[in-house]
């Protein structure tokens, strides 16, 4: 049943991806595009296999930083969104400033993260967290602000305090929009981690995917660059899938978005 549903959802994008890869392969062959400009998918696949140990280890490091950053942004985002919802003054004062998280270019502050948190995992995870935070805050706040007034009245009638109403009504009601924010945050967390790795990741054997990309670029190993990019995209896809699966499990019984 679940396998059938998954297959029904998966086959159209699989067909599109396979078609695009075929087109790419043929175009590179037909126009004789040099490898340093655009390697063919087959060449990228070979680079993945040849460099698998290094790429796998790099993927693990990036996955760890992405995961930590994402969990951090999920926790901070849900708490911050809830506080902003519960305290109107904080909402009016702080929420417009939270937009700064969206406006400030990460590339500009990434070097500062290295100064604040040091090289390696801490600054990379912080980068992933900062980039993916705003959608979670916005999703949580939007959900909490749109709770059905009739249901709020039921809680008021029965003497529920604000924290109890938040826990038993606001939070479950907000779950669909919280998960919308988390799904967006999943992709952004990978981007944040890679950008963080450009400036704050270790190089050499301890390099994460961002480090592999920068060193391969310097050495003109474009197939390796594309292999690392493919793996980074794969990480984002896996994280998105995990978030989607958790959301589906929590919402499928009662919310139309998960049916």
Looking at the Cβ atoms of 99 and 151, the one nearer to other proteins is 151
Q: How far is the CB of 256 from other proteins (least distance, A)?
A: 9
Longest dimension (CA), the chain: 74
Q: How far is the CB of 146 from other proteins (least distance, A)?
A: 14
Looking at the Cβ atoms of 52 and 156, the one nearer to other proteins is 156
Torsion angle (degrees, nearest 10) of CA 127, 179, 8, 4:
110
CA nearest neighbour of 110 among 191, 226, 209, 207? 191
Angstrom distances, CA of residue 141 to CA of 79, 180, 186: 10, 12, 18
Q: How far is the CB of 184 from other proteins (least distance, A)?
A: 23
Looking at the Cβ atoms of 111 and 161, the one nearer to other proteins is 161
Looking at the Cβ atoms of 23 and 254, the one nearer to other proteins is 254
Written in H, E and C, the secondary structure of 49-118 is: HHCHHHHHHHHHHHHHHHHHHHHHHHHHHHHHHHHHHHCHHHHHHHHHHHCHHHHCCHHHHHHHHHHHHC
Contact 176, 251 (CB under 8 A): yes
Q: How far is the CB of 170 from other proteins (least distance, A)?
A: 11
Dump the DSSP string for 107-150: HHHHHHHHHHH-TTHHHHHHHHHHHHHHHHHHHHHHHHHT--HH
Q: How far is the CB of 180 from other proteins (least distance, A)?
A: 17
Q: How far is the CB of 19 from other proteins (least distance, A)?
A: 39
Exposure string for 72-108, b = 16+ CB within 10 A, e = fewer: bbbebbbebbbbbbeeeeebeeebeebeebeeeebee
Q: How far is the CB of 245 from other proteins (least distance, A)?
A: 18
Which positions lie near other proteins, rule CB under 8 A? Answer: 148, 150-151, 153-160, 164, 168-169, 172, 253-255
Looking at the Cβ atoms of 54 and 255, the one nearer to other proteins is 255
Looking at the Cβ atoms of 8 and 158, the one nearer to other proteins is 158
Looking at the Cβ atoms of 145 and 214, the one nearer to other proteins is 145
């Amino acid at each position: 049943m679940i396998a059938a549903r998954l297959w029904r959802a998966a086959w159209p994008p699989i067909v599109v991806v396979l078609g695009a890869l075929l087109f790419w392969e043929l175009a590179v062959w037909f126009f004789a595009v040099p490898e340093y400009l655009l390697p063919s998918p087959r060449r990228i696949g070979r680079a993945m296999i040849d460099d698998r140990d290094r790429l796998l280890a790099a993927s693990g490091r990036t996955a760890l930083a992405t995961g930590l950053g994402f969990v951090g942004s999920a926790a901070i985002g849900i708490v911050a969104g809830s506080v902003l919802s519960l305290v109107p003054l904080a909402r009016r004062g702080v929420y417009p400033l939270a937009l700064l998280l969206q406006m400030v270019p990460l590339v500009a502050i990434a070097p500062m993260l290295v100064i604040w948190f040091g090289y390696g995992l801490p600054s990379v995870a912080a980068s992933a967290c900062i980039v993916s935070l705003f959608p979670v805050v916005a999703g949580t706040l939007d959900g909490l602000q749109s709770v059905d007034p009739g249901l709020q009245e039921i809680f008021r009638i029965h003497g529920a305090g604000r924290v109890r109403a938040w826990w038993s009504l606001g939070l479950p009601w907000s779950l669909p929009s919280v998960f919308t924010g988390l799904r967006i945050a999943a992709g952004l967390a990978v981007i944040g981690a890679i950008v963080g790795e450009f400036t704050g990741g270790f190089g050499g054997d301890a390099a994460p995917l961002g480090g592999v990309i920068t060193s391969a670029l310097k050495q003109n190993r474009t197939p390796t660059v594309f292999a690392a990019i493919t793996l980074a995209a794969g990480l984002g896809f896996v994280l998105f899938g995990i978030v989607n699966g958790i959301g589906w499990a929590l919402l499928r019984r009662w919310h139309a978005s998960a049916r």
